């Protein structure tokens, strides 16, 4: 009936250093279904090269709170316990529907759990790093964070790994092409079933 037929929400989570960013970029370029990446709102400052409206909608704490108050978010989370907020705007799902694709959310575990409550059919994928050591190496190689931030993120990695079994699918990012193939396979299967 409605234009929602076949619409799906895809959620991908993975700890910092799980190699998520590369996977997401490659997936958006080439997937068995049209994926529209949800642009999250955040109160953290833009990193070098991050473009407003592409990487995130960068909001002041006041603006974020005001939108939260108005019920504009599907979920929000204070991701690293450092006072920075992140959230998925309801309008992002609408945008995906309008563009005729599936909404693709790259969000943390807390956010993913909230999405599962609201969209039990969501395709939830947890990207696991091959090991904690690899995570740490990848985080350091990025060279954008202070030692304190790296330590905080590593603690979060350990916490998040414990939640991996809440996701419908788990993919180990040992080898990039292999992990991508697995995720594409999941999407293909779900597309056939929808």
Q: Which residue has the tokens 């939260």?
A: 68
Name the segment binding ligand 5GP (CB under 6 A); options: 58-66, 106-114, 133-141, 185-193: 106-114
Q: Which residue has the tokens 């609408």?
A: 94
* Size of the residue set binding ligand 5GP (CB under 6 A): 14
Segment (H or E) for 36: strand 35-37
**Per-residue x/- marks for ligand 5GP, 56-95, CB under 6 A?**
-------------------x-x-x------xxx-------
Q: Which is nearer to ligand 5GP, 108 or 136 (CB)?
A: 108
Contacts by residues 148-151 (CB-CB < 8 Å, ≥ 24 positions apart): 149/80, 149/82
Q: Rounded to whole angstroms, how far apart are CA atoms 36 and 96?
A: 5
Cβ 107 to ligand 5GP shortest distance, Å: 4
CB neighbourhood size of 12 (10 A): 25
Q: Is 17 in the site for ligand 5GP (CB under 6 A)?
A: no
**Per-residue x/- marks for ligand 5GP, 109-148, CB under 6 A?**
-xx-------------------------------------
Cβ 115 to ligand 5GP shortest distance, Å: 9
Q: Which residue has the tokens 């040992």?
A: 174
Longest C-alpha distance within the chain, in Å?
53
Q: Rounded to whole angstroms, how far apart are CA atoms 145 and 1?
A: 49
Cβ 14 to ligand 5GP shortest distance, Å: 8
Sites of contact with ligand 5GP (CB under 6 A): 13, 40, 44, 75, 77, 79, 86-88, 106-108, 110-111
């Amino acid at each position: 009936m409605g234009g929602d037929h076949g619409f799906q929400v895809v959620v991908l989570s993975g700890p910092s250093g799980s190699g998520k960013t590369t996977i997401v970029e490659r997936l958006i370029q080439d997937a068995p279904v049209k994926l529209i990446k949800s642009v999250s709102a955040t109160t953290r400052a833009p990193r070098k090269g991050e473009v407003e409206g592409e990487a995130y909608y960068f909001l002041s704490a006041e603006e974020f709170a005001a939108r939260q108050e108005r019920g504009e978010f599907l979920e929000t989370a204070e991701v690293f316990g450092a006072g920075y907020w992140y959230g998925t705007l309801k309008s992002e799902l609408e945008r995906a529907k309008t563009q005729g694709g599936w909404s693709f959310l790259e969000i943390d575990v807390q956010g993913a759990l909230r999405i599962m409550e609201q969209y039990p059919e969501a395709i939830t994928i947890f990207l696991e790093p091959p090991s904690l050591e690899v995570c740490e190496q990848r985080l350091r190689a990025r060279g954008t964070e202070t030692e304190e931030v790296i330590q905080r993120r590593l603690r979060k990695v350990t916490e998040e790994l414990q939640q991996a079994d809440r996701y419908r699918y788990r993919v180990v990012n040992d080898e990039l092409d292999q992990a991508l193939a697995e995720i594409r396979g999941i999407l293909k299967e779900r597309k056939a079933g929808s």
